[in-house]
Structure 1
């Protein structure tokens, strides 16, 4: 009778098979969704922009000649593929304006990233060492500027930095200066705007790394006679490097292509690639050249993005 019951009843493996299939489907779905997101919102737009960069300017709507069009069938597509040229990319190498714009953007973004790190690291360190009951409030204060429009916050800095603005009024009233400072429409104003706007992107990764650090290591270093400064550079800073790398990349990457801050705070003479790109698209209506500028900018930023992904992978491995 026992043998008959065992033969009739389903085995444990047969019962667990559907559940394993369901778990496998869910795990694949979790992986597929981000890839679909990247496909539709990154890869497809990039292909469209790259396709426009291979076309030529035309007085029409849209203002470029169609390339790689399937309207004439496969034969027409292959004929158009053979006629493709990279004249727009060659033009970028011949005009010093674009090269100077790329170099200036990288320099401004690099200096702004360093300044943001100098300002953000003490803030993140103080938040990590604060009592646990106070940390949520401090995090909310860091994120609080995001509740206001980015454009409004940049416009507010115009009222602060202009010659008759709030900053000069305070400095004149306290006797620190005898005449108004010229800050607006300078690179100093751009640095102030970028540091202010992207400071949370630096503070949050740094706070995440510093909060997880074992501070008993600092106490052990002090017991062994290590000065506080040496303990910081030998223990605290190396352990926070994943947060430093993540924060620097989160600031540097969008700062390279920044347009609003240079346009409003830097004035008309500021040369950055984001502003050059906007002028090509909307002022000159040269979509093919502007698309080539955008493609090269994206390729230049792929390397920092790869470093950022590696930093995230290392941070996850440390958590495990």
Structure 2
């Protein structure tokens, strides 16, 4: 049966040569491989239009920026309402960043229909682009997180759920989940968390602790789990999915292929040109101190 990389065409498998001459086939393969690993759509929503002018103009709102300076007052009959002064967040520019790479397939590999090599190179390119975009998502988020959105949690590996000396409820992972939502509620921004993101080691600790009950535990807080090796150990992000800001593209994922007769080869080049705007960092709470 044909797969996404080698679809059937009139009963014949698509050859390496045809794939190289139809880069959209490789693009779709890269996109499919990257899709379930990307952090960008976990933190950010699509901008909805092509980025123009080299970047996205945005304002990164703090909690204080969403209220007028001062307060409103009760009006007495015949009097005017008090004049209030708006608060304008500082405008910022999220520049586009061009990330990509290329690989070469020789005429010999093409003539021999070396599908395995094309698939390996495509997978490696997809993984590398994903790693870079995920790293940039974390870096941009971290650059905008304020202290009130960072919460010191408890060490999860030492928690005992039962036995002679079970860990108190206030020192369990569930207490950290609850405190993250409580911190959001105190900010009165209408944020309801629905996703928690952590690295593989911390996720393994959580799965070991709760076992088959983990899904129910997370669902009781309205959360689903996403694991990424780009998240530092001992750290978890609790967030409202897609609400931290916007990600737009001057160029979306693009795959190009061209012939190079000087070395009897064809080159495949893949790149994406995103801009990441962290407009609502308060929609994310960072839990720290979860490992020793």
* TM-score range for the pair, normalised by the shorter chain length: under 0.3
Compare the two structures and name the one with the higher helix fraction: 1
- Higher Rg: 1
Identify which of structures 1 and 2 has the higher relative contact order when contacts are C-alpha pairs closer than 8 Å and 6+ apart.
2
Compare the two structures and name the one with the higher strand fraction: 2
TM-score, length of structure 1 as denominator length: 0.26
